[in-house]
Amino acid sequence: MEKQALIGRGRTADIYAWQDNKVLKLFNEWWPGDSVAYELKIARIVEAAGLPVPAVEDVIIEVEGRRGIIYERVSGPSMLGVLRARPWKARQFGRLMAELQAAIHRCSVPELPRVATRLQRAIQETPTLPSLMRQAALKALEQRPDGNALCHADFHPDNIIMTEQGPRVVDWMTAVKGNPLSDVARSSLILRLGEVPPGTRGRWVFNLIRAAFHSAYLNHYLFIRSAMRQDVDAWQLPIAAARLREDIPSERGKLLRLIEESIKSTARVYA
């Protein structure tokens, strides 16, 4: 079969329309085959768990020498897109994001790799992280309690599609198991440090909206999961250090300052 119209393009894959209201996620030739297989595995797991995700076909196909996965086509803007159009709904959407993430964390998937293992590898492989910061981040990671909760590990408003049938969570290739508060800490970091979307007018207004969204998200999650803010904050150092591995130029300076502040804060606690 031939792919149809291109409807999206990402770093690792292109999205094409497919027959019967489906889409083909066609990976670039350089993307490893085992990574494609892993994404299909995760997609099947989260669908079987009853989470609000696109349905997936249980097969990897090849089109023009590239591997692909066929998903249900979900139509609608991302939560981020809706938030930009309706900023007065920031707190409502923040609470919705918290509820979706809490539902994810109620699932347990034993066969997934551990979040601590992935964070450790990222921290060790980050070339821009000074040695002393690396040691502090690894030590902080060792002190964090483990867990078996399903974690998306890249959960933010642009990975939530607002369809007429309700929200759908996409892009599960980073999913792991572990302490759910590590997942919350990463989401919190992305919300606070992420760049303002291109074309956004009134940067300071958007930052106010983002702050309201983040506050509503974090407070609601802590409430519904009976969690403590300091336990989320305790993940900030290893999460920020691992985030450096993604090499996002606009975040590098912010992350290094955040890591330094976290180390100083930890030192004051144990002084």
Residues 154 and 259 in one domain: yes
pLDDT value at position 9? 81
The label of the residue with tokens 């690396």 reads 134
Q: What tokens appear for 60 in the block?
A: 């990897």
Residues 113 and 233 in one domain: yes
Number of Cβ within 10 Å of residue 27's Cβ equals 20
Cα–Cα distance between 53 and 121 in angstroms, integer? Answer: 28
Instruction: Show which of 34, 55, 72 is a domain's final residue.
Output: 72
Nearest Cα neighbor of 66 from 28, 38, 37 is 28
Q: What is the pTM of this model?
A: 0.90
| Residue 194 burial (10 A CB sphere; 0-12, 13-18, 19+) | middle
pLDDT 10s per residue in the chain (271 long)? 555 788 888 778 999 999 888 999 999 999 999 999 999 999 999 999 899 999 999 999 999 899 999 999 998 999 999 998 899 999 999 999 999 999 999 998 888 999 999 999 999 999 999 999 999 999 999 999 999 999 999 999 999 999 999 999 998 989 999 999 999 999 999 999 877 666 666 677 778 899 999 999 999 999 999 999 999 999 999 999 999 999 888 899 999 999 999 998 876 655 4
Write the single-letter amino acid at 242: A
Residues 64 and 88 in one domain: no
> How many domains does the chain fold into?
2
Cα–Cα distance between 238 and 235 in angstroms, integer? Answer: 6
Residues 96 and 180 in one domain: yes
Write the single-letter amino acid at 261: E
Residues 107 and 174 in one domain: yes
Residues 52 and 161 in one domain: no
Residues 113 and 243 in one domain: yes
Residues 67 and 139 in one domain: no
pLDDT value at position 20? 82
Residues 117 and 184 in one domain: yes
Residues 187 and 226 in one domain: yes
Instruction: Show which of 54, 72, 90 is a domain's final residue.
Output: 72
1: in domain:
no
pLDDT value at position 26? 94
Cα–Cα distance between 107 and 151 in angstroms, integer? Answer: 9
pLDDT value at position 173? 87
Please answer whether residues 171 and 159 qualify as being in contact, where contact means their C-beta atoms are separated by less than 8 angstroms: yes
Cα–Cα distance between 177 and 199 in angstroms, integer? Answer: 36
10: in domain:
yes
pLDDT value at position 271? 47
225: left (phi over 0), alpha (psi -120 to 50) or beta: alpha
The label of the residue with tokens 């998937």 reads 109
pLDDT value at position 250? 87
Show the domain range for 162.
79-270
Cα–Cα distance between 175 and 118 in angstroms, integer? Answer: 10
Please answer whether residues 213 and 90 qualify as being in contact, where contact means their C-beta atoms are separated by less than 8 angstroms: yes
Please answer whether residues 103 and 46 qualify as being in contact, where contact means their C-beta atoms are separated by less than 8 angstroms: no
133: in domain:
yes
Please answer whether residues 194 and 143 qualify as being in contact, where contact means their C-beta atoms are separated by less than 8 angstroms: no
Residues 85 and 160 in one domain: yes
Mention every residue, 6+ apart, whose C-beta is less than 8 A from residue 95. Answer: 216, 217, 220
Residues 143 and 164 in one domain: yes
Instruction: Show which of 53, 72, 91 is a domain's final residue.
Output: 72
Nearest Cα neighbor of 36 from 71, 7, 73 is 71
248: in domain:
yes
